[in-house]
Structures are given as C-alpha cells and as structure tokens.
C-alpha cells in the first residue's frame, strides 16, 4: 500500500516546479532583486501618473520630459551662479542649509535647557505647559510676520534673515523641548539614588548622571527638530524672498516658469531624507550606550 | 560603652486619605563596630524602608540615627550602599562607576592612588580582567560585584545592603555571598543587610533582627548567631545550632505571615534592643 501511495503523495511543490522551471527561476530572481524592482515600479507608476495628468486635466503642469530639459542646466552645473535668484540647485541648497543650520542651532541652544527645566521642575511644567501646547501647533507662516515686526526696528539688521531664523528656531524647538523633558522625567530613580548616596554636587549630578541618562531622548528630539527646521525653510524663504531652494521655487512660480518647481520639490525631499538618515545614525549611537 | 551605630525610635508615616499610614513604628536597634546585622521580614513589611532611612534616601518621620558618635541627616558616602539592582550608570565602565565614588570621597588623593583603589577593589571581587567593560557587557552577577566593590572602595563607616543578591540565581548568589564575606572579613565594617533569605541571614550575620509585618512594623525578635568566623558554608550548615536557629527564624516568619495586617494590636511588648 505504502509503495503505491508514495508517488501520488509526493511533495506538492515538486511537480509544479518541475513542470514550470521558468517560474521558479523568476521567483528566485525576483526575491533577490525586489529591493530594487519594487521601488522602481513605484517610481514608474508615479511618473506615468504625472505624464497622464499633464496631458489631460492639468494642462499647466509641465510633463516629465519638459521638466527634465528645463532643469538640466541647474543639475549639470549645480554650483553655477548666474544671478541672485538664478543659481545651480546645490548652491541654492547650500544657502538654505546654512540658514537652517543657524536656526536649528538656536533651537537646540534654547530648547535643550528649557526641556531640562521642564523635566526637573513640576512647578515650571505647570506654569509653561499650557502655553507650550498652544504655541506648538502654530504654523511657520504665522510666526514669520511676527518675526518681521519684532526685528523690523533693528537698524542695520538683516530683518528678513532674523525673521527667518526666529521662525525656524521657534517652530523647530518643540520636539527638543518636549523630548528632553520626557527624558529627564524618565531618569531611573536608581541613578539619582547613586548621585545622592555619593553626594555629588549639583553640577556633577547634572553632567555625570542626568545629561548622559537623557541623551537618547535628547537626540530623538534633535532629529525631529531638524526635520521641522527643514520643513520651515521653504515657508521662510518664500515669504522673505531670500535666495535658497524655497525662494527659488517661489520665484519661479511667480515668474510663471513651472518647469523647475518639481526639481525644487524633489531636492527638498532628498535633502530632508538625507538629513533624517544622518541624524538617526547619530541617534542610534547614543541609544546603544 | 555606647554602640557604634544606633537607630532610636525610628518611625516612618505617610499621610493618606484615611489619616496617617504608619509604615515603621519605633524601630530601635544598636549595631556594634564591625558587626554584621541582618533584617529579615516579609516583603513589604518595611525593612527596606528602615534601610533607606538609614541611608538617608528616605526621610525620617520621627526618631533618629547616630553613627560613630554623630547624628546622621541625609545621605552620604560614609554609608556604602549596595542596591538590589546593581544601579550602575550604563554609560560608564565598571572602573569608571567605582571611580565616580572614589573621586568624591578621596578627592585629595592623587589620581594614581585613586585609580589604584578602584583597581584593587575590582580585582578583589574578581573583575580584574573586565573592569573596563560597560555594565551591559557584564552578567547580572558581575554587575553586582561592581556594586559591592563600589561600596567597599569608599571605605565607609557602615555598609547598607538592600537585598543585594535578590535578583541573582542560586549559584551566583552563593558565589557573591562568598565574595561579600571575604571583603567584609578584611574590612570589618559595621553592616546592616536586608534580606528575606533565612539561610543567607544565618550564613552572613552576627545577629538576625526579625521585623513584624507592616503596617507599623517593629522589631519582633533578635536572634544572635554565634558560628565561628571565618565561616564557610559547609561548616556553618553542619553546626548543631544551625537547624534550631533556622527553625526559629522560619517559625517567626510563618507566624507573622498568617497575621492579618488589620489585626495588628496597638501595643505589643517586644524585646527592643539586644
């Protein structure tokens, strides 16, 4: 009985793969390359949608070919400077990055100590938490005019730059503030007991125990803050008309030259992605300690 | 002749919606210089509260503490503390963890002397080869060895051990009890340990203090343990007094385990000091 039933109940996969060697080979090939094939398929689908849209319902949208032709000079000569608002794409990116770096630095310098204070003092938290919760969701577009008013009276100052920095710093600060505060509150009591038993001074308790214990949280905040700072740059440059990737985008739109807008969007996205990756590498280093 | 360390009428109460909640009431105990005293009692009876009041980590509601002729207020490195969890700072190596306390206590000594102290104590607890590793690279037992080295390295006037081996497996616990006993034999620091392991209490201590169950825990019974030192586990367990003492401690714990907290009599006459 068993000898006759054996060939009938052979493993279910084997006759199929024997009769379709091509399919098995394709599956193996696909499983090795799907990391590449799937994203490519997604990109092609979006490109097709773009072509279709510009051909049908969005007549003003330049199709991918026209976009590429118009964008080429900005990509092949990324550092060219033909005029204040006509520069290579990386040169614009560089200008934007400098502005973001300054605003981001202000956000960290102000936000980290503020977060520490909030984490340490329940009194401080009760006093400031409501106002923080109200200010946090305010859009950069709303802060910028206020910055213009605040710094408008400063003689000889670059008002648009100060207003942009004010906006970036204010919008980007909150994740750092809130994550640092959470981190300080999450310091294990064991660590604080060690500090108390050893009678560490306030300064030593801060530098040897509290800051190292909070670092992973702080860097999560720093990463989120950087993402917001980069988001805000476009709005800040649009409204102030500063040269940069966002200023360029807005200027081309106003000049009815739509070809480079997509180029700007892609560049902003790519730079934001790279910044986030870089920060998560740093963040993971501190998390593993 | 006065005792080296004295806990008099130590009490702890918490305000609660139902009025004062008494955790520990009138806890009296004296510890001689170089004496090893163990507190046993059920989990949550308040024995750890007593210890953290002595450490200064928990505020004292009433009563007081005297150590080497001075009243204690607040925490300080004159009491070496070994916590139940090793409580090492994970971003520092074992060596740096020990150095943190040494730098605090021996700040007048030159750096190489301070480093020698740390290296000495880490070697004595058996970590000579891995003192520059971070806590996460060490086993639970090795981490607690660092905790013991950190406490002894400060040359404290008193040693406070809060269930130091409670989180370890039996084999590691035996090993570390040996490490602790060896260090203690060399340094003879007055020690107060909290545990609920009867065998551990008998093996290590000169006296075992049994605490009644909370709320309002007090000293219930004090059992002297006179096994000759230096001790080894086998000869302690073969000693004719071992089983009767063990019996006495377990009986005490069992009686108090069956007593309902609500049935605690207001006043109980107990032997307060040894």
* The CATH number, out of the four listed (1.20.950.20, 3.40.50.300, 3.10.25.10, 3.40.50.1220), of the domain defined by the range B1-73+196-274: 3.40.50.300
Identify the pLDDT of residue A288.
62
Minimum mean pLDDT among A15-19, A44-48, A69-73: which range?
A15-19
Compute the mean pLDDT over every residue in chain A, rounded to the nearest whole number. 84
CA distances from A67 to A51, A59, B155 (A): 11, 14, 76
Identify the pLDDT of residue A187.
94
Residues from chain A that touch B51, judged by Cβ atoms under 8 A, are: none
Identify the pLDDT of residue A285.
82
Res B22 pLDDT > 60: yes
Res A159 pLDDT > 90: no
- Selecting from A190, A193, A198 the residue whose C-beta is nearest the C-beta of B100 gives A198
| Range ranked top by mean pLDDT from A202-216, A244-258, B206-220, B259-273 | A202-216
The pLDDT-based confidence of B24 (bands split at 50, 70, 90) is confident
CB contact under 8 A, A197 and B55: yes
Instruction: Tell me the residues of B at the A interface, defined by beta carbons under 8 Å apart.
Output: 55-57, 75-77, 79, 81, 83, 85, 87, 89-91, 100-101, 104-105, 134
Rounded distance, CA A113 to CA B72, Å? Answer: 35
Residues from chain B that touch A191, judged by Cβ atoms under 8 A, are: 87, 89
The pLDDT-based confidence of A4 (bands split at 50, 70, 90) is very low
Res A120 pLDDT > 60: yes
CB contact under 8 A, B57 and A208: no
Compute the mean pLDDT over every residue in chain B, rounded to the nearest whole number. 86
The pLDDT-based confidence of B264 (bands split at 50, 70, 90) is very low
Distance between A221 CA and the closest CA of chain B, angstroms = 20
CB contact under 8 A, A191 and B87: yes
Res B271 pLDDT > 70: no
Rounded distance, CA A106 to CA A166, Å? Answer: 9
Identify the pLDDT of residue A289.
56
Res B208 pLDDT > 80: yes
Spell out the residues 6+ positions from residue B264 whose beta carbon is closer than 8 angstroms to its own.
B212, B213, B215, B216
Q: B126-176: per-residue pLDDT in tens? A: 999 999 999 999 999 999 999 999 999 999 999 999 999 988 898 999 999
Identify the pLDDT of residue B259.
54
Q: Is B34 left (phi over 0), alpha (psi -120 to 50) or beta?
A: left
Identify the pLDDT of residue B269.
37
More confident residue, B265 or A202: A202
Res B2 pLDDT > 70: no
A95-113 mean pLDDT? 94
More confident residue, A152 or B123: B123
ipTM of the complex: 0.82
A96-118 mean pLDDT? 94
Q: B41-100: per-residue pLDDT in tens? A: 887 788 888 999 999 998 888 888 999 888 888 898 999 999 988 889 999 999 999 999
How many contacts, defined by CB atoms under 8 Å, are there between A and B?
A: 46
A80-101 mean pLDDT? 83
More confident residue, A1 or B12: B12
Res A130 pLDDT > 80: yes
Res B270 pLDDT > 60: no
CB contact under 8 A, A208 and B89: yes
Res A122 pLDDT > 70: yes
Domain segments of chain A: what residues?
A: 13-55, 76-288
Identify the pLDDT of residue A36.
82
Res A13 pLDDT > 70: no
Q: B164-182: per-residue pLDDT in tens? A: 998 889 899 999 999 999 9
A166 prior amide bond cis, ω within 30: no
Residues from chain A that touch B87, judged by Cβ atoms under 8 A, are: 190-191, 193-194
> Where does residue A34 rank: exposed (0-12), middle (13-18), buried (19+ CB within 10 A)?
exposed
Q: Are B189 and B35 in contact (CB under 8 A)?
A: no
Domain A76-288 has CATH 1.20.1560.10: no
Q: Which two tokens stand for residue A161?
A: 């730059």
Q: Are B221 and B210 in contact (CB under 8 A)?
A: yes
Identify the pLDDT of residue A166.
92
**What are the φ and ψ backbone dihedral angles of A264, each rounded to 5 degrees?**
-60, -45
Identify the pLDDT of residue B115.
94
The pLDDT-based confidence of A19 (bands split at 50, 70, 90) is low
More confident residue, A258 or A208: A208
Res B123 pLDDT > 70: yes
């Amino acid at each position: 009985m068993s000898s006759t039933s054996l060939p009938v109940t052979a493993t279910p996969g084997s006759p199929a793969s024997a009769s379709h060697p091509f399919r098995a080979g394709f599956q193996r090939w696909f499983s090795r390359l799907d990391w590449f094939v799937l994203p490519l398929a997604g990109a092609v689908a979006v490109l097709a949608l773009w072509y279709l849209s510009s051909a049908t319902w969005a007549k003003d949208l330049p199709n991918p070919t026209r976009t590429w032709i118009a964008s080429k000079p900005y990509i092949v000569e990324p550092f060219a400077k033909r005029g204040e608002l006509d520069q290579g794409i990386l040169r614009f990116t560089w200008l934007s990055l400098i502005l973001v770096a300054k605003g981001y630095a202000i956000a960290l310098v102000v936000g980290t100590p503020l977060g520490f204070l909030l984490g340490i003092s329940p009194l401080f938290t009760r006093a400031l938490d409501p106002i923080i919760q109200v200010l946090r969701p305010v859009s950069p577009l709303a802060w910028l005019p206020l910055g213009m008013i605040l710094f408008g009276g400063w003689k000889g100052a670059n008002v648009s730059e100060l207003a942009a920095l004010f906006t970036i710093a204010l919008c980007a600060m909150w994740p750092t503030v809130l994550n640092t505060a959470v981190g300080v509150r999450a310091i294990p009591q064991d660590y604080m007991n060690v500090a108390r038993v050893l009678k560490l001074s306030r300064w030593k308790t801060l530098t040897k125990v509290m800051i190292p214990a909070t670092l992973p949280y702080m860097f999560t905040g720093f990463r989120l803050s950087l993402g917001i700072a980069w988001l805000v740059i476009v709005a800040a440059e649009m409204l102030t008309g500063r040269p940069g990737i966002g200023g360029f985008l807005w200027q081309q739109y106003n000049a009815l030259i739509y070809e480079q807008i997509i180029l700007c969007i892609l560049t902003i996205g790519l730079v934001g992605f790279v910044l986030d990756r870089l920060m998560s590498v740093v963040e993971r280093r501190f998390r593993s300690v | 002749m006065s005792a080296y360390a004295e806990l008099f009428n130590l009490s702890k109460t918490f305000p609660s919606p139902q009025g004062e909640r008494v955790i520990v009431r009138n806890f009296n105990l004296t510890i001689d210089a170089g004496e090893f005293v163990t507190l046993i009692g059920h989990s949550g009876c308040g024995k750890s509260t007593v210890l953290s009041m002595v450490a200064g980590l928990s505020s004292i509601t009433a009563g007081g503490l005297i150590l080497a002729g001075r009243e204690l207020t607040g925490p300080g490195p004159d009491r070496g503390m070994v916590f139940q969890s090793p409580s090492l700072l994970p971003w520092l190596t074992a060596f740096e963890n020990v150095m943190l306390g040494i730098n605090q206590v021996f700040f007048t000594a030159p750096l190489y002397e301070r480093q020698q102290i740390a290296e000495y104590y880490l070697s004595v607890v058996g970590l000579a080869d891995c003192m520059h590793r971070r806590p996460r690279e060490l086993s639970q037992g090795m981490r607690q060895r660092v905790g013991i080295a950190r406490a002894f390295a400060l040359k404290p006037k008193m040693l406070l051990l809060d269930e130091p081996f409670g989180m370890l497996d039996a084999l590691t616990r035996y090993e570390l009890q040996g490490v602790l006993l060896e260090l203690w034999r060399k340094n003879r620091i007055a020690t107060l340990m909290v545990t609920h392991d009867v065998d551990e209490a008998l093996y290590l201590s000169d006296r075992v203090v049994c605490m009644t169950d909370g709320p309002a825990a007090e000293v219930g019974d004090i059992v002297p343990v006179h096994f000759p030192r230096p001790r080894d586990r086998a000869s302690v367990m073969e000693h004719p007094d071992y089983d009767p003492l063990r019996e006495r401690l377990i009986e005490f714990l069992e009686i108090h385990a069956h007593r309902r907290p609500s049935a605690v009599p207001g006043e109980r006459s107990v032997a307060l000091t040894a």
